[in-house]
Amino acid sequence: MFNIGDKIVYPMHGAGTIKDIEERNVLGKPEPYYILEMPGQVKVMIPINKADDIGVRNVIDKEKAETVFNVLKHDSTEMSMNWNKRYRDNMDKMKSGDIYEVADVVRNLSFKQKEKGLSTGEKKMLGNAKQILVSELVLAEHASKEEVEDMIENTLCQSFETYKHTSKSDAVHDNIVKKFIPFD
């Protein structure tokens, strides 16, 4: 059970602060709800008895926030070439509520956007994943939204540059080797 003032994460929506606990009449029966204030003055009501089932959890601490940035610093993980499968896999990662999985989606889609571009659906997913990531890191880092967005973007740009150059040089090396050394 969470208390007023706790910082929690509501999967697919991001992080916020419990501002109140209210009882609401649902089908003639009173039920307690967390009143969660999200970034942008958004107010969300979460039934207390279903909070665990839907994956509500505490916001990560500053130490775990560093681990999130480490996820963003690594090369992208393998994604399906099939758009539908890739979309479903990324959606499952986001629905999990695991901040590291959300960071993985942000990194992978950001790299893909820089390399080839994204479909409209994946652009929207990237925007949602970034919003979820930013909302939690703002609370974990005790920083402004702009500061966290800059930190994420800088980390992604540095990582992309590191792995983009490595990948290209490896591809060139592989092509040269295949052209000059017969493997038959």
What the block records as the tokens of 25 is 């009449």
Q: Do residues 24 and 109 both lie within one domain? A: no
Domain containing 101: what range? 62-178
Contacts of residue 93, defined as CB under 8 A and 6 or more positions apart, other chains included, come to 101, 102, 104, 105
Lowest-confidence segment of 22-31, 64-73, 171-180 by average pLDDT: 171-180
Residue 172 contacts residue 93 (beta carbons within 8 Å): no
**Is there a domain that residue 184 lies in?**
no
Do 66 and 52 share a structural domain?
A: no
Split at pLDDT 50, 70, 90, the class of 166 is: low
Structural tokens at position 16: 């916020």
Contact 10, 45 (CB under 8 A): no
- pLDDT, residue 172, reads 46
**pLDDT for the residue 181:** 47
Sheet holding 42-47, edge to edge: 42-47, 29-38, 14-26, 7-10, 57-58
Task: Please check whether residues 54 and 75 belong to one and the same domain.
Answer: no
